[in-house]
Amino acid sequence: MVQVEEFCTHCNIEFSFIHSLEEFELIQVIEIQGKKYLTGDQLSKVEKMAALHRELNINLEGIDVVNHLLEQIEDLQQELKAVKNQLRQFEED
């Protein structure tokens, strides 16, 4: 886990952006003894979302849509992989 303040300083991201992502329920922030932390899987999500916001000037609503579409693509890729594995089993029989 990485403390949010350190992450923001290191990546030049405003804390308010992290707070907004949390409010939109795009990420989960863990609070321990009054300090906020990001887990490893959340770090990569925040980096991607910050890049979309900074480089493409996409607002939070747009980031939400992009994130949802990327999750759907990932689910479809996993489903396709499972179907391919089943097909291979049928071909081998």
User: pTM of the full predicted structure?
Assistant: 0.78
- ∠ Cα 17 21 45 (to 5°): 100
Q: Where are the domains of the chain?
A: 2-92
pLDDT for the residue numbered 92? 85
Q: Which of 8, 89, 32, 24 is nearest to 59 (CA)?
A: 24
The pLDDT tens digits of the residues spanning 12-68 come to 899 999 999 999 999 999 999 999 999 988 998 999 999 999 999 999 999 999 999
- In CATH, the architecture of 2-92 is Orthogonal Bundle (1.10)
